[in-house]
Amino acid sequence: MTIKDTELESWRSLWSSDDGSSAGRSDAGSETRRAAIPDARRIAAMGRRRLVRRMAVEVVMAVVWIAVAVLLIRLRPDPALMVLGAGIVAFVAVACAFSVWNSAGIWQPAGDSVRDFVLIAVERCHRDLRAVRFGLWFAAVETALLVAWLVWTSGRDVLPEISRLPDGWLVLPVAAPAVIVAWLLLLRRRARVELAALEGVRRQFEDDWAASTG
Amino acid sequence: MGDDHEFERVDDSVFERVDDLEFERVLEEFGPALRRLAGSYESNSSRRDDLVQEIAIALWRALPRFRGESSMRTFVFRIAHNRALTHVWRRGRVPSAEVSEAEHVTDPAESPESQLARGQRRERLDAAIRALPIVHRQVLTLALEDLSHAEIGSVLGLRENAVAVRLTRARQALRAALGVSA
């Protein structure tokens, strides 16, 4: 025998009703469809382009830095230039290896459920924060080693080509790390806000998930 | 410029795999439910429209992955709830039980006539559902869409008994928000 759940039925009837102003309009399907299709095409295309662009920027940056390193090593047989070139190659290799390691296993959730989605989103936030920590350490170590190299080569005209650069060129090596650090700090702030919200959802789900996997 | 053109070409080839008619059919069938779902996350009409739009885009992307392992209904609600969650936490505000207490639901006793108006009761139900913590809201809106416990479990990644427990708690919370005694 089935007991009729009148309370749920009355809520259900109200929930599905057409109130003329809210969610239940009868033409909502057509309206959603008409509005969604052109924008879905455009926004999906934009999202893919952004992903491809980001990957392309990372690859181009790596290639440019490797080219600079090769150029320095081949410029003249000077141990200081070889050390600088080898250092650049090593840093690019470390950055690429970190990028591959840090993004492993987070491309797809384990399943399609909300639980899988929340778990992968939390993991992605943690990876973003790890990337920021790595970026800040990376920038600090890179700067320290560069300063050490400059001290080591001071008094020797290792790169006379620099004197041919226009006045004020030094702004670039100072401004670039500052911009990168500012960008990393902004990323960290965003990731922390997102993670706090996600953890709120995860906490709400935790008991039920534990019961469902136990 | 050349690169952009190349990317457009790649995207077009992806779109060709997506069955436009299937997408239209899904939105035709589930459009009202998606608008109701969006209404349980956003009270502001333009933000609700934005959320419906985001859900439609997510569906557009996800439909080629649908292999019929679950029903289309559970597939659509999974995508929709996942997108709605993203929408909420990107805005950095996930209501908790504490927040929900702060949200005000109008007392119908102030206006006996308006209680009879179905639209107003509907608005009140919407507001009460929006005031619930997300876990209660999700399980309740899925139940209101007439999904079985097994289907709700499939959408949320829970066992059926966990769904039943969660639904009981959600109903208690909704009764409290509406000022109805059990």
Residue range B98-133, pLDDT digits in tens: 334 334 444 455 455 655 567 778 888 888 998 888
Q: How far is B72 from chain A (nearest CA, A)?
A: 13
Query: Residue B182 falls within a domain, yes or no?
Result: no
pLDDT at residue A44, rounded to an integer? 58
Q: Contact B89/A198, CB-based, under 8 Å?
A: yes
Q: Which amino acid is at A103?
A: S
Q: Contact A37/B157, CB-based, under 8 Å?
A: no
> Which residue blocks in B18-133 are alpha helix, DSSP H?
20-39, 45-62, 72-90, 97-102, 112-116, 118-130
Q: What's the rounded Cα separation, in Å, for the pair B96 and B138?
A: 13
Same domain, yes or no: A65 and A87: yes
Q: Contact B92/A37, CB-based, under 8 Å?
A: no
Expressed as residue numbers, the domain containing A78 is 45-102
pLDDT at residue A23, rounded to an integer? 42
pLDDT at residue A153, rounded to an integer? 87
To the nearest 10 degrees (0 to 180), the angle between helices A114-153 and B72-90 is: 40
Query: How many domains does chain B divide into?
Result: 2
Same domain, yes or no: A54 and A79: yes
Instruction: From B80, B73, B20, select the one nearest B53 (Cα to Cα).
Output: B80
Q: Find the farthest-apart pair of alpha carbons in chain A and give their distance in angstroms, rounded.
A: 96
The pTM for the full model equals 0.63
Q: What's the rounded Cα separation, in Å, for the pair B162 and B170?
A: 12
The residue among B94, B117, B137 that closes a domain is B94
pLDDT at residue A60, rounded to an integer? 92
Token pair of B94 as six digits:
């996930």
pLDDT at residue B172, rounded to an integer? 92
> Pick from A16, A115, A196: which is nearest to B157 by CB?
A115
Q: How far is B156 from chain A (nearest CA, A)?
A: 5
Angle at B34 between CA B33 and CA B35, to 5 degrees: 90
First to last CA, chain A: 32
User: Which of residues 72 through 131 in chain B touch A, CB cutoff 8 A?
Assistant: 75, 78-79, 81-82, 85-86, 88-90, 92-94, 96, 118-119, 121-123, 125-126
Same domain, yes or no: A122 and A181: yes
> SS3 for A182-207, per residue?
HHHHHHHHHHHHHHHHHHHHHHHHHH
Per-residue pLDDT of chain A in tens (214 residues, 90 and over written 9): 456 688 888 898 888 875 444 444 445 555 555 555 555 556 556 656 766 777 788 889 899 999 999 998 888 888 899 999 999 999 999 999 998 898 888 777 777 677 787 888 888 889 989 999 999 999 999 989 988 998 888 888 777 777 777 777 777 777 888 888 999 999 899 888 888 878 877 777 776 666 655 5
Among chain A residues, CA nearest to B137: A204
pLDDT at residue B74, rounded to an integer? 92
> SS3 for B101-141, per residue?
HHCCCCCHHHCHHHHHCHHHHHHHHHHHHHCCCHHHHHHHH
Query: How many domains does chain A divide into?
Result: 2
Same domain, yes or no: B86 and B9: yes
Q: What residues of chain A lie within 8 A of the CB of B37, using their CB?
A: 23
B177 touches chain A (CB under 8 A): no
Same domain, yes or no: B48 and B133: no
CB of A66 closer than 8 Å to CB of A95: no
> Pick from B28, B86, B135: which is nearest to A205 by CB?
B135
Expressed as residue numbers, the domain containing B8 is 1-94
Q: Contact A194/B90, CB-based, under 8 Å?
A: yes
CATH code where residue B136 lies = 1.10.10.10
pLDDT at residue B97, rounded to an integer? 39
Which of B8, B61, B156 is the best mutation test for A, with the most CBs of A within 10 A? Answer: B156
Q: How far is B29 from chain A (nearest CA, A)?
A: 6
pLDDT at residue A89, rounded to an integer? 94
- Please report the sign of the dihedral spanned by the C-alpha atoms of residue B147, residue B150, residue B152, residue B154: negative
Same domain, yes or no: B3 and B26: yes
pLDDT at residue B69, rounded to an integer? 80
Place of tokens 């020797």: A156
B157 touches chain A (CB under 8 A): yes
All residue ranges of chain B with pLDDT < 50 are: 1-17, 95-107, 110
